[in-house]
A and B are shown apart, each in its own frame.
Chain A
């Protein structure tokens, strides 16, 4: 009898375990796809995720490193993990199509595209949402998609109709469908224009930091035209923004202090149009501080990107004339890098943006522990009171190359090494003015409005450089604008795109002018591990990642010069 009871007992235990739900497990650390895109909150989450892709390192967070591919800056082979994707190899032209930088940027940018496609496809299906909000979110998504495609074209194809294009995905794709060939730049341009024109009416003129707005969308539209050589359309779009801004009482305007613009203290300025908002929290901060700063910074910076002597020497003198070493040395025979007074004198005569952007020998820098450091051109370990200031130190201790001041935090502002609180600027009003000047000059020549735009930049209150000479030719104006972009936008990562726009199809351009042995201010090669920039035709574009071509042969042919 007893056995029966046990039997029954066990049957009960067993059957209670046999609930149907046992095998229906579901993850709790995410939202199942069946439950996404249903509510207004889901819409916010989905669109925030696209912005999250903007702050991926190779999308826009480390955009400044792109300057390293041009003569104004260089990416040091630090031998450590900070040159994460070995951009250095691209600088010295030893990269292969399998280099991780190619894959990383491709993947980061397409990640943005995928998220934008997801939002654009699903936002219209949400019923429980205010329709204005829906339209705004949709507009933001379209702007962001255009932004990612713009960068994809820039790096992997070029915007010209002769360029090979990149694959174009405009809808959510499953893994079986991810084998499209490259669409030509015209098709992609059409999508970008379509997206941006759709978006512009639904975007606010200004928005909170980190979100996009109408001005950013119009500026991107202008850039799309500009990169296609559509000067008139571009100048109309840029000009339209400026006059519209004017009419609205100038919500966007140049910030009075050029140096502070790139500092935490100047973060809340009216010049920034579209930024990555950073906080001193792990995963939500910037990397520029780490990559630009020196060892004496609180982040123990790595000097991964350094400004070149080419850039520093190019800054004009305060009177607007070019700087010439030979002439300067002749006039100042006592000059020596070891002579503080002489060096101070040299830099006192130059465009103030030089000092604001770059830490030069004998310059002061407030670094870790809020201590003031002096950048002595030979590193020494002397400490006060024997000397006035402790010696600032470059990452490789050589102290023989320039360092950035732009985007480098002051004192203890950085509390977490890879999480700088300073915002990263993607679009700003000064850039807009220069783009306008460029488009207008190409379309109509050096008109008054061209002069007005460039002089605005030069005469920012604490820059106050002389105006561009009146009556110069279109060609001279072109050179002025191009130089102005280097001085104004140094370290912001736009130069590589500028070069492609200006020179890729310019038959008169001598590419060898881009090649330099990267030297410190004393004239010694800065990087004992070999710092000679080599720029060939293939360096106009990144390679399509080799792994990507391996998987999808429709992407062939590989960009010129990257065929292994």
Chain B
């Protein structure tokens, strides 16, 4: 009853509660109004003049509210406000007016501050044992709850608590008090012979009335028939230092895998897959921000209210052609009616790479190791003993000339990150607003990778007329990113020598001068000096929407959205020098010969039109049918130009006009369009049986005229067993729902013009003149059409023990047909890029569950534990028959998982005896015969089979997987008198990474760094080592794809730890602060893994490592 009652109580403006979103807002508004009701003294008039004839009491109350500061609180079931009345007053005291108004009724009133509580007076006749009772209702922290409903159970007698949380009423001794308040678990208390009560209510975070945002609206969570997970991100901005909203999703949602594959500031979003990799191409989900297709990096973490993840076909098929990989719905915060709030959130912290690489940083040791590697390969050792000794003796004395550089530590330094956001929100009956502006600064741990962003948002809603509501969202950011070419720089770092000084105290960059040293050895600091590259992005997203209320249950929603993205990359390069500090001369020039300048502009714009009708039909009392029908169109265009010029007047004048050598200019263009029709029907019988059907009809410009349109239907149903009568006695079950769904989804992630052959520039110089030429640029497929995914889902939701324990379980089967893939084609077609084809079928099957337990111990210790686990396995059901495609060290073939590794198996480390023995036995080795210390690979063929005794790539076997199969997250949280603490664990298992490049190889190159692991390599003196001998020229003997380099990529990571303290409201209220919270938060602090690379999340060897980050923050609400 509580929700319905609340609605009736305070919300008299009928038109407002017509749509679910509105209802959602109102619940929220009411909550805030009551909770934060201002009880200060006001100077405004306490008198009122009225002249109203034959109107309802309600209208009179409204009129008083609009003319005075007073607000009424009452229960419609107790106070008859429909009574018609005529009233004329002239500047009368409010109490006089009320006496007049309720003359002759049983309504009494109580004025407290600016709040007037109306209740039924106790005129019970001859009540045998009625006595006055009173009490106070508080929350678990002991703070009073204003507006809680207190009734005698089973009657209509009751009251609401006043501003101090107090109530008083008369009751018979043998009755019970029932106390309800939205967002809190209801309590029933025996009165017995007590007259004074101190009642604490506990927050009920798992309320059955919880609503979640779904496609084109909101729905009560209990009434969902599809598979939707939602996270409340209201507090994300004041708890964690995520540098990109998508990081907040890691480990929090069953079925969703978010992994951060780069820690580079500004490029540190996560890649997200929902329920596994369903396709052979891009499998990232569709992101919808406030109803418009967008990106998670468009939204500041501070502005987010909630995120819903639509996982099954039934929930997402209304997004049709783009929903095959799931949909993420982001809803931003809205201003609340009546209450003005100003909030500041800010944090500051430091960060450092998660995994430093262990490299040989002692140069004499480096030289000896290189010498050994060269000797092992039969080559001449480059370093003489003299220089090794010289270095050893002198480096303690003169570290400038004789450095022992640890390049990883020299480049990556602790750096600062900070974010500051100010948010103001408020509103009244007609208008609400939320405005926020934020600054985010993330200094790179690597030089020249800083990122700065200023973002803003204005969300406005205005009720223009009772039937017309306008909404406006303006959101955007301006960011500057130092665009370091990280993968190249990582390459430079790995191709460096410990004998090179990064930078002398006077700023000059050192070169490799030791005799025998490689002159090619890099000094990445000279590259840092060479290049300035700054990307300035201005992105503006605007949405204007109009909601037309045609009738009480019939609305029409229209919107137009534009996105504008303007990018400007400004890069200039200048030559630098590497110094020999021994002779104090320039060793060599580095980088470009002349100064160069690159200016690149990109412009992206998009226009989206959206219009849909919603109709809600109530048949009798318990049958509801909701309809949605709509139209959507999108058009996107990208253009850009890039110009390069040389020989600037000076590097201080990096502008095209100062270039003395003419520039080259290039430009590009792309556009795409989508047009869609969609509809949905929901049927709800008594909140017991739920049925839903969706349909979408999409046309995309990317496909041929004949294959352009796709139809995507879905159906789902749910049965809430807990609502059945036969379940009534099972009291420990609050909610039990069975769900099933099936649907078809599409995927149009493919080239813009895949059906049209294009001749592009292929110019040539003929007779000293650049002569235009045009050549086919790519092969085309004129029959291209949608990729379709059909998905079946069954699931169940449990709420047990007063919703303290919640379990959600889902099992799914996803089959993707007509996969859009660029099958590799022979280069006899001139290396033209392959066309997309609808080829291949991939299945994904798996299950996921989440389990949460929230409870308290004693009065003030609250704790919670929630975990989720997902298993998903992919299988290529159909591909090119027995023909496989190889990509790196992976294989794509029918019947296998998606791209498992395809490697030789290492059997042993060779000794000379073993080699001789095998050669004598007639073994042949490819690419060449092993030397002692090399791998001996397993011969997979048995005697009599082709290839027996031939060890080559035919001995490769399928091993491991490149797509994670298990992922999980676990959150532990606790609260105690203002303190809150939580830990988030996240991990994956069932995945491998192939690690054999740059830092991870036994093939040592003079002038490249050596991983310390290889100091323990096999040698005659170290015959038990499993690590192949170091060498300078491997010729593929150890680097042929093999399982030694295949590493277990599983990990468990403490993604986030936080400790916060929220000051008592009573305490801060006195200094005008509603809420004050201090916190410390740490990201990526601990990781358990066997992976030896940069970071198991990053996996690549040339990416920017992920960061450990510790911040302290403050959140103040005025």
Contacts and interface: CB of A to CB of B under 8 A. Distances in A.
B520 A80 contact: yes
B673 A114 contact: no
B467 A49 contact: no
A415 B379 contact: no
Contacts of B69: none
A417 interface: yes
Interface centre among B580, B700, B772 (most CB of A within 10 A): B772
Contact of A178 (B583, B752, B825): B825
A395 B378 CA distance: 24
A551 B580 CA distance: 51
Contacts of A179: 826
Interface stretch (A275-283, A348-356, A426-434, A500-508): A275-283
B765 A278 contact: yes
A23 B673 contact: yes
A513 interface: no
Interface in B657-704: 661, 664, 667-675, 699-701
B776 A118 contact: yes
A515 interface: no
Contacts of B772: 44-45, 48
B585 interface: yes
A110 B827 contact: yes
A551 B758 CA distance: 25
A175 B583 contact: no
A204 to B, nearest CB: 13
B765 A3 contact: no
Contacts of A22: 633, 635, 673, 675, 701
Contacts of B633: 17-18, 22
A530 B1033 contact: yes
Contacts of A13: 609
Contacts of A118: 775-776
B1071 interface: no
B463 to A, nearest CB: 15
Contact of A530 (B670, B758, B1032): B1032
Contact of B700 (A18, A23, A415): A23
B765 A175 contact: no
Nearest to A530: B379
A111 B670 CA distance: 25
Given A10-B611, A23-B699, A31-B758, A211 B767 contact: yes
B494 interface: no
Nearest to B636: A25
Interface in B914-932: 926-928
B827 A107 contact: yes
Interface in B1023-1066: 1032-1033, 1035-1036
B589 A45 contact: no
A279 B780 contact: no
Contacts of B763: 48, 52, 283-284
Nearest to B647: A415
A6 B701 CA distance: 30
B764 A52 contact: yes
Contacts of B611: 10, 14
A310 to B, nearest CB: 20
A110 B831 contact: yes
Given A17-B633, A51-B766, A417 B592 contact: yes
B1006 A528 contact: yes
Interface stretch (A166-174, A229-237, A339-347, A469-477): A166-174
B523 to A, nearest CB: 14
B1116 interface: no
Interface stretch (A62-70, A131-139, A239-247, A292-300): A292-300
Interface in A466-487: none
Contacts of A528: 374, 379-380, 382, 516, 1006
Interface centre among A26, A52, A92, A178 (most CB of B within 10 A): A52
Interface string B497-534: 00000000000000000001011100000000000000
Contacts of A45: 759, 772-774
A114 B546 CA distance: 56
Interface stretch (A252-260, A402-410, A446-454, A542-550): A542-550
Given A3-B550, A30-B758, A299-B593, A114 B773 contact: no
A113 B826 CA distance: 14
A38 B197 CA distance: 94
Interface in A290-316: 295, 298-300
B830 interface: yes
A79 interface: yes
A36 interface: yes
Interface in B752-786: 752-753, 756-768, 770-777, 779-780
Given A3-B548, A23-B708, A548-B827, A94 B1033 contact: yes
Contacts of B592: 417
A96 interface: yes
Contact of A94 (B382, B758, B823, B1035): B1035
A124 B382 CA distance: 63
Interface centre among A80, A92, A416 (most CB of B within 10 A): A416
A397 B588 contact: yes
A459 B824 CA distance: 54
Interface residues of B, number: 102
B397 interface: no
A82 B379 CA distance: 23
Interface string B4-29: 00000000000000000000000000
Interface string A539-564: 00000010110111000000000011
Contacts of B1006: 79, 528-529
A166 B467 CA distance: 76
Interface in A16-33: 17-18, 22-33
Given A113-B830, A551-B825, A551-B826, A279 B762 contact: no
A564 B904 CA distance: 13
A381 interface: yes
A284 B770 CA distance: 8
B779 A175 contact: yes
A415 B662 CA distance: 11
A169 B828 contact: yes
Contacts of B550: 3
B707 to A, nearest CB: 12
Contact of B831 (A107, A211, A300): A107
B776 A525 contact: no
Contacts of B1032: 529-530
Given A528-B382, A564-B926, A46 B773 contact: yes
Given A25-B752, A25-B753, A180 B828 contact: yes
B952 interface: yes
Interface string A104-133: 001110111111001000000000000000
Interface in A433-467: none
A178 B762 CA distance: 23
A111 B830 CA distance: 3
A396 B700 CA distance: 56
Contacts of B771: 44, 48, 51
Nearest to A166: B828
A24 B701 contact: yes
Interface in B877-903: 884, 886
A13 B1032 CA distance: 70
Contacts of B775: 46, 49, 52-53, 115, 118
Given A28-B669, A174-B779, A208 B834 contact: no
Given A113-B828, A114-B828, 9 more contacts: A10-B611, A22-B675, A92-B1033, A209-B766, A210-B765, A276-B765, A284-B764, A396-B518, A416-B661
Lowest 9 CB-CB distances: which A-B pairs, in order? A48-B773, A33-B757, A208-B767, A111-B830, A114-B830, A49-B775, A107-B831, A94-B1035, A30-B758
19 contacts: A7-B548, A13-B609, A26-B756, A27-B752, A29-B758, A32-B756, A44-B772, A79-B1006, A94-B1033, A113-B830, A114-B832, A175-B779, A281-B664, A300-B589, A416-B593, A417-B592, A528-B1006, A529-B1006, A547-B886
